[in-house]
Structure 1
Amino acid sequence: MALSAFEFFLLLVYYGFTAESYRGPAKDKRKVIMAKKLSMMINRDHPEVCRAVILEDGRINDYIVENVSQEKIKGNIYLGVINRVEPAIEAAFVDFGGSKYGFLPFKDVLKESYVDTGEKKARIRIQDVLVRGQEILVQVAKESRDAKGPSLTNSISLPGRFLVLMSGSHASAVSRKIEDGEERKKLKTLVADFKLPDNLGLIIRTAGLGRTKTELQKDLQRLLMVWENLSTSREKKINKPPFLLYQEADMVVRLVRDNFTTETSEVLVDNIESYNAVKGFMKMVMPRFTNRVKLYKDTTPIFSRFNIEDQIESLYQRKVSLPSGGSIVFDSGEAMVSIDVNSGKTTSASQLEETALKTNLEAAEEIGRQLRIRDLGGLVVIDFIDMFHKKNQTLVEKEIKKICKLDKARINIARISKFGLLEMSRQRLAPPVQQGAFVECDSCAGTGIVRSLNYVVMHVLRKIKEHLASGRVKELTVEVSSDVTEYMLNHKSAFLLGLQEKLQFKLEFLSKPGVTWTDFKYLVTNKTSEELKGLDLITNNALIETTKPKDEQEQSRPQNRANSLNKGRRSRPIQRKRYNRRNSNGQRFDRKRMPSKIGNSNEDGSDLVVRHDTSNVTPKETVPVSPSSPLTIAPKPDRGSENIFERITGFFGKTSKDGDSPSSGADS
C-alpha cells in the first residue's frame, strides 16, 4: 500500500523526525557559521612605506610594516671576507658590504668552510680553521640592532612556498608546528624519493601540510634553480668580494608566500605594481587561487575603509584595555620587555580570586597576540595578578602556551613563580613596529623624564663655583637655556652680583633657546700675570687696613667740628635741603621706574650681563616706519604782558590763554 506525501510527513512528525535530520549533524552547521574569515590587505599608496595586515573576522591578527629608510637585509646572501677572528668570544667579524661588520658565531660555520692551517688538535678552535682575509658565503640571520651589527650564518637556507632548501644538511625534516605524528610520517614519505645534490637537505613547512607530491616537487625544482644560479655567480666572481649574491623577495611577495593559506578568502592590494607582482607569484605557485587577488580601486584609503587605522594606532600605545575592565601595560627596555597586568573592579572580597583568574586569562590571550603583532622579542617577563590556588595558575599557563602556538617565532615559556611572574623568551623575527614610527627624544634621551628646573639651576651654580675655584678667572660666559636665565635673574641676581664683586670677574649669561642641560657650555677667560699681581696688591692693602690697631684707626678719622662743639648738648639734627630733580620737560625722576643694572653691561664689568643667542631665529619682516614730523616748540609769551596769575600757572607748564596745552601749540 503506497503512502501519500501528507501521510509520510505525519509519520515523520510522529516518530520525531524533521527535515533537519537530512541536513547533517547540527554541529557541522555551527562549524560553518563559526568559521573565521581570513583576509590580507596590502597598503602601498606611497613608496616610502609598505604596510600589510592579516585580518581575522575584521581584527588584526598580524601586522607587517617596512620603511624605505630602514633597509631590510635579512635573508640576503653575500660572499663576504673575514675581517678579524676573535677567539675569546669564538666568533668572526665578516665584511659583507654593509655599513657594519657582521657577527658570525663559530657554531654557525659549516665544516666545508674550514681552512687547513696545519694545526691538528683534539679540539677544533676557531683560530685554527678561519683566517683573516678568507672568503666565506654568509646569509643574514638577524637585522642589526642598536650599535650591534647583523648576525650572520654560514648555513644557507632558501625558503619556498612549501619547502625550505638547506645547505649543510643531508636529511629531510618537518616543521615543529606540525605536531601530528601520522602527518609527519606521511610528509617524510612523500619527500623520501626526492633527489637532492650533496650537502643539501629539505624542511617541509607548515604550508606543505596536505599538499600532493607533485606540488612539493615543483616547489623543489624552483629552489634548485635558485641554488644553481647562486653557485654559478659565486664561481664566476664578477665583482671583487664582498658583494651580494641573492636578495630576498619583496615584502609583498614574501607576505603572500609565508602567510597565504587555503582559508584566506581574498588579498586586497591598492597599488598596481604590487598587484601585478602578487598576481604573477600566484600564477606560478598557486594558479588555483589567482582569482582571490584583487585590486582595490576605491578613493577611500583601504585601511580607513575597513577601520584598520585605529587598530594600528593602538599598537603604539603602552596600555591595552581588556574586556573585563582590566588593562595591560607594556614597557620595552634594553634588557627585557616587562608586562604588567592590572585588575578591573571587584564587587566583594570573596570574588578576588575569581576576578584575578578571569583577568589573567584575558591578559594571557591578549599578550600572545600583542607580542606577535608588535614583534617584541628577547626576554619577556609578565607580572600576573596574584592567584592563591595552584590550579588557577596552571590554567593561565595553559592559556598562554595555547595562544603562543599560533606564533611563527620560537618561544620558550617557564612556570609562574611564587612572586606571580612568568618568564618567557621569544625569537626576534624583525625589528619592533615602533622602531620606524618613533625617534628618540632629544630632551630625555628615551627615558621619558627630564631634569627639574631647580636641579638644573643648582647644577649650573655648582659648575660656576667649580670654574672660579682657581682664582684666575677674568670672564666667564655660560651658555644656558632661556628658563635657566630667567630663574637666575629673578632669584639669584643678588648672589651672582656679590660673587662678581668678591672675586673681581665678569659673569655673562648667553641664553640659547632649546638647548638641554647636558649641552650647557662654560667659556672661561683667565687673568694675565700682571692682573693677578695687581689684584694681590689690592687684597694685601685691604688686609693691612683691617688689621690696624684701634687707636690708630680713631686717629686717622677726621674730627667733625660741629660734633665736638655740640657734644653733650641736645640739639636738633641738621636737615639737608631736599632738591627735586627735573628733566628738560619739567618732569620729576621716578626711581621706581628707573632701569635696574641687571641686563645692562657697564664698562667696569660689575653688572650681571645677559645676552640672547638669535643665530637660529629666523628674522621677521620689518614694517617700514614713516618719518616723524619735526616737533615745533611754541613761542614763549612776553613776560611783560603776563599778570601774576599767568606767571604762576606758567611755572607749572600751563597757560591760561585760550586754554591751549603745549601739544596744541606744537600742532599749530
Structure 2
Amino acid sequence: MSEEILINVTPSETRAAVIENGVLQEVYIERTSSRGIVGNIYCGKVVRVLPGMQAAFVDIGLEKASFIHASDIVGRSEKLSAADKGEELNIRDLVHDGQRLYVQVVKDPLGTKGARVTTQLSVSSRYLVYMPQSDHIGISQRIDDVDERNRLKELVNAGIAVVDSESGQVESDNKSGGGFIVRTVAEGIGEAEILADIQFLKRLWQTLERKMPETKASKPVYEDLPLAIRVLRDMVRSEVERIRIDSTETFQKAAEFCHDFVPDILNKIEHYRGERPIFDLYSVESEIQKGLERKVSLKSGGYLIIDQTEALTTIDVNTGAFVGHRNLEETIFKTNLEAAACLARQLRVRNLGGMIIIDFIDMKDEEHRRQLLRTLNKVLDKDHAKTAISTVSELGLVQMTRKRTRESLEHVLCVSCPACHGRGALKSAETVCYEIFREILREARAYDKSDFLVLAEQSVIDRLLDEDADSVADLAEFIDASIRFQVEAMYNQEQFDVVLL
C-alpha cells in the first residue's frame, strides 16, 4: 500500500488530499475567510446558563455563541468523584453569567449550531497531546501491541521526570505536571523524540499561561496551525511516501517546520512545479465533484444512494445492473461486501459524521451477515475519525456513528438551493398553474372588478397558454375579468405574482 499527500495552496484556499494506491481517500479544505477553529483556545465569557440542559452558552467572539455542557467544565478527577458518589453535576455550581472561562473548541460550528467547547484544555505535537489539567498518561487505542503500549508509557514517564528535574520541580508521581496522550504515529519511535515533544509542549503551555491573564474576553489565546502544517503534524505516517506541495512559500514553511519538529519526514516533502494542476494528478478534482453527487456507482453494477440530512445520513445499497453468476443470495452478499468498502471511503471523502443508517440488501444467511459486519469494521479501521457500529438488524440495517468535528464536504462547498430550499424537488408547472388559479379567485373575491397580470417563469406561462388555456378562459369568464401573462426570467418555477391592473 502506498500513500501520498497532495497540498494545493492559493491565496484564498488551502486544500489537502490523501491518496492511497492512486485513489482519493480524504480531502481537507480550509479557506482564509473561514478557517476551522477546532483546537483553538479562547478567553470566553459566559452569556447564558441553561439549568434545564445542564449547559451554558459562551461568547468566544464568533457570530454564534459556543455551547458547553457541565461534563466538559469540570476536570476528569472531579467527574469521576461525582459519578462514584452518584451525584449529578449542577451547571449553576460551576459557572455564572458574565464569568470569564478559558475554553477550547472541540467541534466547529455545524449548520445552525455554534461551536462545542470544553474547559479541559490540551495542546498537540507530533507524537503527544499535553493535558495540563490532568495527571493521566494514555496510549492511543489504535496501538494494539501490549508491549509497545507499555514501552511508550515508560518513555513518557521517564521524559516527564527529565523535564521536571531540568526545571527544578520536585518529582511527585506527575500529580501537578499534567498528563499526556501518546498519539498513533508515535508507535515505534524512540526516547529522544518523546523527550523533545514533552519539552516543546511544556514550553508552549508556559507561554500560554503567561498570555491568558492579558487576553481580553471573547479573544483567542491560542490558534492551531494552518492546514498545510497541521497535515504534516497529524497525518504523515510511515506508509506515506511523498508529500507534494505546489506553493513555494508553503513548501519553505513546511520544510522549516519539519526541520525543527519532525525531521524524519523532511525527505518526503517535495515542491511540485509541474504545469498540470496538482489536484489533476490523480483526478482529485473529479473525485471531489463525485463526492457531491447523491448516487455512487459500484464496479459490479450496483450503486449507493447517499442522503445527508441535519439529523442523520442514510446510505441505501442497491444491486442495480449486477445480476451475479450463481444465485440471488450470493449476488446480494457480494454487492453488500463491495458496498461496505465503497461507503467507508465515501464517509472519509465526504466527511460524513453523526448518526449514519446503512440499508444493506437483506441477507438470509447469518454467516453472511457476520462476514459483512467484520468487513465493515475492517475497512473503517483506517478512518481517522472515531466510529462505532451496531449489528446487522433483521431488516438489513446497520446503525453507526462517526465523530464529527468539522463540516461535511457538501456543507463546505455548497449552499442550500434557493429554488427548492434544500428539499431536492420543485413543484411541477402544473401544480403552480393550479396555485395561480386559486390565487386569482382569492383576489377576485377580495376586490371589486379588476383585471389581472400573472408574472411567472417561462414553463409555467407556456402551460397556461397551452394545456391550461381552456381553464384560463373559463376562469376569466367566471370572474368577469381579463387575465394577462408575462414571463419573468429571474423567477424560478415555483415563483409567481398576481398583479391587479
**What's the TM-score once normalised by structure 2's chain length?**
0.88
Question: What code does the residue aligned with 1:250 have?
Answer: P
Q: Which moved more, 1:464-473 or 1:328-337?
A: 464-473
Is 2:107 the partner of 1:142? yes
CA distance in 2, matches of 1:438, 1:504: 48
Report the Cα offset of residue 96 of structure 1.
0.6
Q: Decide which moves more: 88-97 or 489-498.
A: 489-498
- Which whole-Å CA distance do the structure 1 matches of 2:371 and 2:281 have between them? 39
Q: What is the aligned partner in structure 2 of residue 219 from structure 1?
A: 197
Q: 1:317 to 1:140 in 2, by over 3 A?
A: same
Q: Residue type of the partner of 1:461?
A: F
Bigger Cα displacement from structure 2, 470-479 vs 427-436: 470-479
Deviations 1:501-522 (A, max 9, x none): 7656675655422323654344
Determine helix, strand or coil for the equivalent of 1:218. Answer: helix
Of 26, 34, 52 in structure 2, the residue corresponding to residue 62 of structure 1 is 26
- Contact preservation (8 Å) 2:110, 2:406: no
Within a 5 Å distance, the mapping from 1:16-95 to structure 2 comes to: 36-44=1-9, 46-95=10-59
Report the alpha carbon displacement of residue 436 of structure 1 after superposing the two structures with TM: 2.9
Q: Is the 8 A contact 1:377 1:426 kept in 2?
A: yes
Which of 95, 109, 125 is the equivalent residue of 2:73?
A: 109
Deviations 1:228-248 (A, max 9, x none): 1211111223xx311111111
Contact persistence 1:70–1:436 (CA under 8 A): no
Find the counterpart in structure 1 of residue 81 from structure 2.
none
Equivalent of 1:461 in 419, 437, 441: 437
Which residue of the other structure, out of 229, 241, 263, is the alignment partner of 1:287? 263
* Number of equivalences: 478
Structure 1 residue 124: Cα displacement: 4.4
Q: Distance in 1 between matches of 2:470 and 2:332?
A: 60
Distance 1:347 1:136, change over 3 A: closer
Give deviations 1:618-665, integer Å, cap 9, x for gaps: xxxxxxxxxxxxxxxxxxxxxxxxxxxxxxxxxxxxxxxxxxxxxxxx
Q: Compute the TM-score of the two structures, normalised by the length of structure 1.
A: 0.67
CA distance, structure 2, for counterparts of residue 454 and residue 503 of structure 1: 21
Q: What corresponds to 1:438 in structure 2?
A: 414
Q: Counterpart of 2:188?
A: 210
Q: In structure 2, what is the Cα distance between the partners aligned to 1:38 and 1:462?
A: 62
| Contact in 1 for aligned 2:426/2:493 (Cα 8 Å) | no
Letter in 2 for 1:342: N
User: Structure 1 residue 205: deviation in Å?
Assistant: 0.4
CA deviation after TM superposition for structure 1 residue 100, in Å: 0.9
Counterpart-to-counterpart distance in 2, 1:307 and 1:499: 57
Give 1 or 2 for the bigger CA radius of gyration: 1
The correspondence for 1:331, drawn from 288, 301, 307, is: 307
Change (3 A) 1:474 1:409: same
- The structure whose residues are more often strand, as a share, is 2
Show the 5 A alignment for 1:218-297: 218-237=196-215, 240-297=216-273
**1:339 to partner: Cα distance:** 1.2
**Which runs of no fewer than 5 residues in structure 2 stay unpaired?**
79-86, 165-173
The percentage of counterpart residues that share the same residue type is: 31
Pair 477,125 (structure 1): closer, same or farther in 2 beyond 3 Å: farther
Unaligned stretches of 5+ residues in structure 1: 1-35, 115-121, 525-608, 610-668
The structural deviation recorded for 1:472 is 4.2
CA RMSD of the aligned region, Å?
Answer: 2.6
- For 1:496 and 1:341, locate their aligned partners in 2 and report how far apart those are by CA, in whole Å: 46
User: Would the alpha carbon gap of residues 47 and 451 (structure 1) be closer, same or farther in structure 2, given more than 3 Å must change?
Assistant: same
Any runs of at least 4 consecutive aligned residues in structure 1 with deviations exceeding 6 A, and if so which? Answer: none
Q: Deviations over 1:79-133 (max 9, x none)?
A: 0111111111111111110111111111110259x9xxxxxxx754212331111
Distance in 2, matches of 1:197 and 1:499, equals: 85
Q: Does 1:365 align with 2:341?
A: yes
Is 2:92 the partner of 1:127?
yes
Partner of 2:332: 356
Aligned pairs (5 A) from 1:458-607: 458-470=434-446, 472=448, 474=450, 478-490=454-466, 509=485, 511-516=487-492, 519-522=495-498
Give the letter for the 1:47 counterpart.
Answer: P
Q: Which has the higher contact order (CA 8 A, sep 6+)?
A: 2
